[in-house]
Amino acid sequence: MKKSLFILGTILLTTIAVQTGIETYASNNSFNQEQASKPKTQYSELEFDTHEEAKDNIQVIPEKSGIPVDLGNNITGYQEGGAGSRFITFHIKNYGVFIRTNSILGQDNVALSKEVAQILLSIEKYPETDRGLIRADFASGMMSITWASDTFVKSVTSSDLRVSIEKALTK
């Protein structure tokens, strides 16, 4: 039941973000495009009975799945795609990283993934966890960080990846 509530919460977060006008990256290949002075953020948490149960409710990114892509700084991403979307995954610290772009709109997933990797390498501190997930969804404009903390799964979503991570450090 709790897992379905978390999935429902993720769907609601996306719906809220779209309805409140969070800017998307659907028509631009640049990650550094102008954004509103204060990107809207959404925080959520879901409590479980144990830490293991909380951790098990965070999507696991496979170590090596797809076509290898060099993202620089000794980071290898793995690319897959289908139905107009392209995905690149990799790992940094205790976080799996999932990047989605829309190839129909001309988004360059390798270039955007390299930019995300550089941003993530420049960030010194992340919420402490033994399992987390960072999602950069350029097709929808939603950037999120999700992590297990004690018996909670916590998540921060916004239109700016740095803002999501910075806000996560305050939770």
Taking alpha carbons only, the member of 114, 118, 92 closest to residue 101 is 114
25 — pLDDT class (breaks 50, 70, 90)? very low
Distance between CA atoms of residues 27 and 14, nearest Å:
18
Taking alpha carbons only, the member of 74, 46, 73 closest to residue 58 is 46
Model pTM? 0.78
> 91 vs 17, 62, 97, CA distance in Å?
26, 9, 6
pLDDT at residue 23 in the model: 36
| Pair of tokens at residue 60 | 């696991």
Instruction: Give the lowest-confidence range in 46-50, 58-62, 131-135.
Output: 58-62
Cα angle vertex 60, ends 54, 66, to 5°?
175
Taking alpha carbons only, the member of 136, 156, 31, 29 closest to residue 90 is 136
Q: Does 15 have pLDDT greater than 70?
A: no
Q: Does 60 have pLDDT greater than 70?
A: yes
Q: Does 4 have pLDDT greater than 70?
A: no
pLDDT at residue 37 in the model: 58
Give residue-wise pLDDT tens across range 61-117: 988 889 999 999 999 999 998 889 999 999 999 999 999 999 899 999 999 999 999
Portion of the chain with pLDDT greater than 70, in percent: 78
Do residues 104 and 84 touch, judged by C-beta distance below 8 A? yes
Q: Backbone phi, then psi, for 119, in 5-degree steps?
A: -60, -45
